[in-house]
Amino acid sequence: MVEIKLHNTKTRQKEVFTPINPENVRMYVCGPTVYDRAHLGNARPVIVFDVLQRLLRLVYGAEQVTYVRNFTDVDDKINARAAETDRSIGDICDETIGWFLDDMRAVGAADPDKMPRATEFIPQMITMIEGLIESGHAYAAEGHVLFAVESYKNYGALSGRSIDDMIAGARVEVAPYKRNPMDFVLWKPSDAKTPGWESPWGYGRPGWHIECSAMAYELLGASFDIHGGGNDLMFPHHENEVAQSCCAHPEGEFANVWLHNEMLQVEGKKMSKSLGNFFTVRDLLDQGVAGEVIRFVMLSTHYRKPMDWTEKKRSEAETTLRKWRALTAGIDPAANAAPEAIAALADDLNTAGAITVMHKLASEGAAAELLATGALLGLLGDDLAWGQADLSSFEVMLTDARAKAMETKDFSEVDRLKTALLDAGVEVQMSREGVKLAVGAGFDAAKLEALQ
């Protein structure tokens, strides 16, 4: 069996991954708060952990892995968006979840086995909070329930911070009902205009952190194998998850392995609306950037390093993938991915190393193995094709127009079709052998609709 090694944030070292039960490998990844389109940075953890679940299924069996990624559908940002747009919270969440799944599928990410919504687990959250109060780890005050951080001796261990340092360096809400400035909210009151549920502490809604703890426990148990997310979640979200989960269920360890991906930059700068370099996954897709190109660029950098999205990387990725698709056209994949690529992924998910192996396979003309290795990385699949199949009808159209023009000597229709195809990002080759079209840089299928 392939030995997988992962860098565990909890121990700050790379360790051999040993699942609690090899026949039931369990992974939880924090998902989005669903009030708007997913920006490019949101796609990075989705792609990273999609590759990890593919590797785990390869090693332990497709049916032996349970991958959970949640949706936070109760949040003040969602409430604000509803107020701004005069739409229902349910409609906004349903629409945004649909957008998110469409965009993530476009970059080759498979749907997780379970995709729970926070609002589906409110009773379980209330039960967990009640238990924390009974065990002395939480307290009710002025309609709120707060977790007492000083009641958990290991608070700060995941992020490597002490409570004193956190108080000194953090912007924390100084509320009169808090016993300690770092105590965090498990339950808070709601007014008549804000979503809420009845609870022992009054009409209210859960705090952010309790959501993932309750869902992970219900779906994966008191102890499970891997918890993942962006490193921006390490503190306070993941730190708080550990504290409340270990106190609520002391019989378990919560997550044995913690994985955190680094953040994304654009042209060397932090993505920011104020800098004008903020864009969503859908923005890129609508501009004709193939989802596979986005995935390739993401995987070309190790997940624990900052990822810099640049126009040069996008262009190079597109060129590489076009060459690989041409090489593998009509080829059946090999039975297995290249052993060197599997070894790279097993070494702390070294996707960049696996792509280097793919370059080597392409240079050697090993098309079948290249295709199988691409499948392990979520590349070169039919579901990620750039519309090549859709071009066949246009090849016939241009061929017929060209044949007619040869008779009439009127090439205006040929010129019109060729101009429209080029404008849509289609490469046009006309020779004695005939007409050949290929998806090129910036392909935009929508621009071809007028030619139908």
171 has pLDDT over 60 = no
Q: What value, to the nearest 5°, has the Cα angle with vertex 98 and ends 93 and 104?
A: 120
313 has pLDDT over 90 = yes
53 or 176, higher pLDDT: 53
CA distances from 400 to 227, 393, 406, 414 (A): 57, 11, 10, 9
Q: What value, to the nearest 5°, has the Cα angle with vertex 192 and ends 126 and 34?
A: 65
Model's pTM, two decimal places?
Answer: 0.86
Residue keyed to tokens 């926070």: 118
Cite the residue boundaries of each domain of the chain with CATH code 1.20.120: 290-384
Residue 71 gets which letter from DSSP? Answer: B
Q: Could you tell me the two tokens for 267?
A: 């042209």
Q: How confident is the model at residue 385 (pLDDT cuts 50, 70, 90)?
A: low
| Beta-sheet strands, E only, within 245-349 | 254-261, 264-266, 269-270, 307-309
pLDDT for 205:
96
pLDDT for 442:
66
Q: Say if residues 138 and 147 touch (Cβ distance below 8 Å).
A: yes
Cite the residue boundaries of each domain of the chain with CATH code 3.40.50.620: 5-261
pLDDT tens digits along 87-96: 989 999 999 9
pLDDT tens digits along 220-270: 999 999 999 999 999 999 999 999 999 999 999 999 999 999 999 999 988
Q: Say if residues 203 and 215 touch (Cβ distance below 8 Å).
A: no
* CA nearest neighbour of 148 among 129, 165, 161: 129
Question: How much is the mean pLDDT over the chain?
Answer: 92
CA–CA separation, 443 vs 441, rounded Å? 6
CA–CA separation, 36 vs 78, rounded Å? 9
CATH code at 5-261: 3.40.50.620
User: Which stretch of 35-39, 250-254, 386-390, 411-415 has the lowest confidence by average pLDDT?
Assistant: 386-390
CATH code at 290-384: 1.20.120
